[in-house]
Structure 1
Amino acid sequence: MDPQNPNQNPSFPSAPPGIPIPAPILTPKQEPLDEPLQPNLNNLPNLNLNLNLNHNNISQEQTLTHSDDFGRVAELFRTNFSNGLQQIQNDVVDDPNSRAIVPVPDAPRNEENNNNAPAGEVAAAQRLQRRYKELVRVSDLGLPDQRQFREMVRRTRMVYDSIRVLAVVEEEKRVDVRRARSDLRASAVMRNHGLWLNRDKRIVGAIPGICIGDVFIYRMELVVVGLHGQPQAGIDYLPGSMSSNGEPIATSVIVSGGYEDDVDQGDVIIYSGHGGQDKNSRQVFHQKLEGGNLAMERSMHYGIEVRVIRGVRCEGSSSASGKVYVYDGLYRIVECWFDVGKSGFGVYKYKLWRIEGQAKMGSSVLKEALMLRRDPLCFKPMCVLSLDIANGKESVGIRLFNDIDRNHDPMCFEYLPKATFPPFVFHQSGKTTGCACVDGCTEECFCFMKNGNEFPYSQNGLLLKGRPLLFECGPFCHCPPHCRNRVTQKGLKHRLEVFRSRETGWGVRSLDLIQAGAFICEYTGVVLTKEQAQIFTMNGDSLIYPSRFAESWAEWGNLSLIDANYKRPSYPSIPPLDFAMDVSRMRNVACYISHSSTPNVMVQFVLYDHNNLMFPHLMLFAMENIPPLREFSLDYGVAGVADEELTGKLAICM
């Protein structure tokens, strides 16, 4: 088959009669309306972050741990893939249902050159090498492996978000015009330190650790986790020059609805090919069957599924395009043809069918959440028990939803928007002083110094680094309400929902996209001293113990994977938290958040209305991008504590 001329392939539709086929402009199918990416990430300005970010700073222990994880993953790939491997001969697959792919042997290494090169340069070269040729598929992973890969992806994304948020702060300080996007800078730092995932194998099908419905705010994050390896092109594929039989294979596509010939019906997609477009994404030439177009046709021929990621406009996205990218699962290419596009030029089209038996599409969940934000009663109105269990005490309403049984317990408690402290906490909190800033806090002000001579939040209110205790501006500060150091005290801003769950009893989720590092809400209750708590527990324990919460805040902003010499900033030690919270009669939405050892929400202790270090507020922040309608989870306890002792939520909110 000549890939330059589709008419020579009898199994592929020919061009419509009467349409001449001039030489097209072959360009990758790019995402419309996206801000152009800088092509060479090595040319980005150095990311300081108060670190010495060079290739040799990764410790041997960290490198071995990271390599061992991926070595084990690669072995699982090879084992699972080889079980269904079939040889391809004369362009025919022995078993058409095997979805077989021929692996490419490892490229020979130049041992002589490697032996003569310095160890640091060899390690850096290995980390920066191009993606591998070998195509593999992961299947039949056990639950422990699924959890491990999920945790690996979660931690990688957390490092990415931590670097990106810190890069935003550095950009805010730059006075020159030349600025680099924070998402590109974060991805460049992670690539230079060998932290991009799934670069050792070209994965066909599902990526371990990535779930349907996962949301990515930036395109580069797709590349970092290996879900889609192209920073801008819409079709990711293994080129024919790297394939064992000389044919390209498509692995993933991005559908964003920005091309005139695309048709997206959810489970069925008509996806137009690439090429023949000008710089404004207008079709000006006929397309040609090569590159990504040929890869899509070959994937159809061999029955190889492709991952589909949708670009969807979403409120809460901080990207330049205003879109988020949501993974919607696996599709099979069932048909392809050459047709006249709306612009009058020949376009290759591919019909994709979603494979049955998968979880609900993430893009459908985003649409459902959008409808609920516009009309909270548009979906199962009889199951909406309350439009606002807070009874107006929060700035936004909190919906109560139950489509499982008739339980309506959250309506039986008094809603408490802020924690209630004993009066002596304010009387014994020391001298009440604040900053003298007029138009928001500045560097070197009193509150800035209390936080270790750095701001705890970005200008957009995202937490920069977790710490044992955070000081916000309080009632005795002169700065205005819009000061960047006043975040959690403003209360709830996301539209939350308490819902009935078959797995966790009551749970909490949001109708909004919550970005990593964003404040969610306070964990409230009636604060009891240690002595009061001992008396209270004589009749049964339904208390929340702040000292038992896992120190998940230590993970946020932890850049030890980037620099082996990285040390967390030293903060003044705080007294042990000996108080408890009674949530038996008065509580807020946070009391219904479920327990998990791999949470997506963390507790950060904050002071703002008093200075008593022993009685901070319990503020909840997102540890990752939390899609709409995905359940929140908290780690209520430390290892060695029985589950029934971890949290009052598990005992009283089922």
Structure 2
Amino acid sequence: MGSLIPFPEISLFPASISTATATTTTTTTAVVKIEPKLEPLDEPCQPHTEPLQSPYFSAPNLSFSLNSQPNTPFSDPYTEPNALTHVRANPSEENDISSEYHRISELFRSAFAQRHGDVDVLDPDSRAIVPVPEENGVSTVDATSRRGYQQRSRELVRITDLGLEDQRYFRDIVRRTRMVYDSLRVFSMMEEEKRRGLGLGRRSRGDLKASSVMKERGLWLNRDKRIVGSIPGVCVGDVFFFRMELCVVGLHGQSQAGIDYLPASQSSNGEPIATSIIVSGGYEDDEDTGDVIIYTGHGGQDKHSRQCVHQKLEGGNLALERSMHFGVEVRVIRGFKYEGSASGKVYVYDGLYRIHDSWFDVGKSGFGVYKYKLIRMDNQLQLGSAILRFAQNLRIRPLTVRPVGYFSLDISMKKEKVPVFLYNDIDHDHEPVYYEYLVTTILPPYAYHHGGNSTGCDCVSGCLYDCSCAMKNGGEFAYDQNGILVRGKPLIFECGTHCRCPPTCRNRVSQKGVRNRFEVFRSRETGWGVRSLDLIQAGSFICEYAGVVLTREQAQVFTMNGDSLVYPNRFADRWAEWGDLSQIFSDYVRPAYPSIPPLDFAMDVSRMRNVACYMSHSSSPNVLVQFVLYDHSNLLFPHLMLFAMENIPPLRELSLDYGVADEWTGKLPICN
């Protein structure tokens, strides 16, 4: 396990860095906003108290109230393909770490504490901040609010020395928490859609509702410690579509403010400490060149986000100055406008920065503002925001951005709606160009003539909830209005060739083919791999896993000849994880309908295949397999459709869980 230490113990820079601050009075009568530095495009929280309901589970006692608060490909160090499953360390080890932490804290308190005015503070050169002491014999860390969820801790720590297994363990926790958040958000919006269809309720935001419910359930992460530096399980380059998700994982604890900090009233030495900031261009005096940021403090703006009075050295402004004084690093999250995002933005975690200087200056509007110079710390992964910009240029002019390495700009030969690149800057292997590209799986002819009722729906103007295809799925649609998978099921029926609904029907998601630009690339670790040049939102359709379907008898002949086959029944049931709200609803039941019989066919990809066949294996995948029927009703031959299990940034490798190995050969059903 890693260790918890008082956060300023490790420092790469001198503790004392000169600052030039000044105080200026003003006589203006402009009305100033009281809120701290806010994010543009962030909407205020709208109260919502209607409980979620579902035909599959209910929560009669659950109340939902929102009144509370780059050329280098991107790699994920926590979950490389073929990662091992982590076994949790002995719980007693956590107690040892906690005891050692408090012992060290007391040593720092006794060794460096000195009087400074009316407040006990530490020697600034010691760079150590001790935890808040117990009050009336009860630790403030264990206190919970009257609403039942745990309040943010006053205890500042830095987590160090995490081993590879611990990193994978925390990464898995973060991924599962984010999956619950995304699943709950989509599910809650579907419930609202049903209510509004009946003329009930008012419009609310699923992102706020999901975060509120998870907070009530105690599912927010890192509430027991307020972490300085890296958050275990959160990787540089991770992308978030909603601001509240940053709070859920503990990356940034303010729902609106751009500066997250521990107030002086909660600090053990009376000094406020900043832990993270969000940079999104909300202040006209901000300057951002990537590794160097000139960040403007908060305050002094009117309701139109224009500077109208001088800023003061208080709140988050003072916290940033104190973090500079103590040599404490801050997490930096960048916000961007993003077309296609439900929130209008995306947030990218770009790693740790040191505050090297602070000063009081006259801003562009003529009013005094506090400025902070932040420089990115060394030995971190590439900036996620830089990768987003690089991928955007790559989509437009690939040969200009990367003139060497492309063997093909479209191995699909225009069979897909968007090109599929082939890139290899390691060797001269370009094997994928020799395969015939399949857009969809080739099924045996008799698959289309069996399976019972092949009639479709009669929804001429668009499918509603009484649609016969929706009834096949248990009386609900499998996707929301944006084509996001609501939750995984054993099987999904989409509207098909016998339906009268238009091609734009919301129940025709996976049959529309690839929508993102993909790149098959050569990797030293996994052979061939796949990555997207687009940002893929969690729950989005990716592509079909295509091949030629073989019967059991045909598969036996192919196997005798030494050919490698893919067996759909061996893929792990990752679909059950997407939409799993068992942590929210006590009576949640894993979907068992529509049911599907055991699959008894194989897929030959030895000569004909598509981009999905190059995806690598991982025990912590970011892609799941969902069985879908749309062009026939034969339950024995479903299509293998792939969906994103998490937000997948551009140039991050896509991976599947291929499940169990063959009992005879000991190999996974993987073709690359």
Aligned to 1:30: 38
SS at 1:382's partner residue?
A: coil
- The structure-2 alpha-carbon separation of the partners of 1:572 and 1:183, relative to structure 1 and needing over 3 Å to count, comes to closer
Q: Which amino acid aligns with 2:52?
A: L
- Cα RMSD for the two superposed structures: 2.8
Structure 1 stretch displaced more, 168-177 or 594-603 = 168-177
- The structure-2 alpha-carbon separation of the partners of 1:504 and 1:73, relative to structure 1 and needing over 3 Å to count, comes to farther
Aligned length: 616
Q: Equivalent residues in 2 for 1:393-542 (5 A)?
A: 393-542=415-564
Q: For 1:517 and 1:244, how far apart are their aligned partners in 2?
A: 43
* 2:52 alignment partner, one of 47, 50, 63: 47
Q: For 1:607 and 1:180, how far apart are their aligned partners in 2?
A: 33
* 2:306 alignment partner, one of 282, 306, 313: 282
Report percent identity of matched pairs: 63
Q: For 1:172 and 1:454, how far apart are their aligned partners in 2?
A: 12
- Does residue 13 of the first structure (1) align with residue 17 of the second (2)? no
- Asked whether the equivalents of residues 197 and 226 of structure 1 are also in contact (C-alpha less than 8 Å), the reply is yes
* 1:336 alignment partner, one of 349, 354, 358: 358
* 1:382 alignment partner, one of 398, 404, 412: 404
- Does residue 154 of the first structure (1) align with residue 175 of the second (2)? yes
Write the deviation string for residues 199-240 of structure 1: whole angstroms up to 9, x where unpaired. Answer: 111100000000000000000000001000000000000000
- Does residue 164 of the first structure (1) align with residue 185 of the second (2)? yes
Q: For 2:102 and 2:137, how far apart are their aligned partners in 1?
A: 24
SS at 1:532's partner residue?
A: helix
Aligned to 1:100: 128
- Asked whether the equivalents of residues 491 and 628 of structure 2 are also in contact (C-alpha less than 8 Å), the reply is yes
Aligned to 1:60: none
Q: For 1:285 and 1:612, how far apart are their aligned partners in 2?
A: 70
- Does residue 131 of the first structure (1) align with residue 131 of the second (2)? no
Q: For 2:41 and 2:662, how far apart are their aligned partners in 1?
A: 51
Following superposition, the deviation at residue 378 of structure 1 comes to: 2.7
Q: Equivalent residues in 2 for 1:237-256 (5 A)?
A: 237-256=261-280
Q: For 2:341 and 2:40, how far apart are their aligned partners in 1?
A: 17
Aligned to 2:656: 634
Structure 1 stretch displaced more, 396-405 or 378-387 = 378-387
- Asked whether the equivalents of residues 80 and 137 of structure 1 are also in contact (C-alpha less than 8 Å), the reply is no
SS at 1:489's partner residue?
A: helix
- The structure-2 alpha-carbon separation of the partners of 1:614 and 1:584, relative to structure 1 and needing over 3 Å to count, comes to same
- Provide structure 1 residue ranges, at least 5 long, that are not aligned to the other structure: 1-8, 58-66, 115-121
The TM-score normalised by the length of structure 2 is: 0.86
- The structure-2 alpha-carbon separation of the partners of 1:46 and 1:520, relative to structure 1 and needing over 3 Å to count, comes to same
Following superposition, the deviation at residue 308 of structure 1 comes to: 0.2
Larger helix share, 1 or 2? 1
* 2:251 alignment partner, one of 212, 217, 227: 227
Following superposition, the deviation at residue 570 of structure 1 comes to: 3.8
Write the deviation string for residues 431-481 of structure 1: whole angstroms up to 9, x where unpaired. Answer: 421111111212222211111111111111111111111111111111111
Write the deviation string for residues 281-326 of structure 1: whole angstroms up to 9, x where unpaired. Answer: 111111111100110000000000000000022343221xx21000
Write the deviation string for residues 259-282 of structure 1: whole angstroms up to 9, x where unpaired. Answer: 101000100000000111112211
- The structure-2 alpha-carbon separation of the partners of 1:620 and 1:75, relative to structure 1 and needing over 3 Å to count, comes to farther
- Does residue 294 of the first structure (1) align with residue 296 of the second (2)? no
Write the deviation string for residues 242-266 of structure 1: whole angstroms up to 9, x where unpaired. Answer: 0111110000000002210100010
- Provide structure 2 residue ranges, at least 5 long, that are not aligned to the other structure: 1-15, 65-87
- The structure-2 alpha-carbon separation of the partners of 1:470 and 1:190, relative to structure 1 and needing over 3 Å to count, comes to same
Q: Equivalent residues in 2 for 1:261-272 (5 A)?
A: 261-272=285-296
- Asked whether the equivalents of residues 280 and 336 of structure 2 are also in contact (C-alpha less than 8 Å), the reply is yes
- Does residue 372 of the first structure (1) align with residue 380 of the second (2)? no
- The structure-2 alpha-carbon separation of the partners of 1:248 and 1:219, relative to structure 1 and needing over 3 Å to count, comes to same
The TM-score normalised by the length of structure 1 is: 0.89
Q: For 2:390 and 2:627, how far apart are their aligned partners in 1?
A: 34
Aligned to 1:191: 215
SS at 1:619's partner residue?
A: strand
Q: Which amino acid aligns with 1:209?
A: G
- Asked whether the equivalents of residues 272 and 349 of structure 1 are also in contact (C-alpha less than 8 Å), the reply is yes
- The structure-2 alpha-carbon separation of the partners of 1:348 and 1:580, relative to structure 1 and needing over 3 Å to count, comes to same
Following superposition, the deviation at residue 45 of structure 1 comes to: 3.5
Q: Which amino acid aligns with 1:220?
A: M
Q: Which amino acid aligns with 2:276?
A: S
Aligned to 1:604: 626
Aligned to 1:392: 414
Q: For 1:80 and 1:577, how far apart are their aligned partners in 2?
A: 54
Q: Which amino acid aligns with 1:47?
A: L
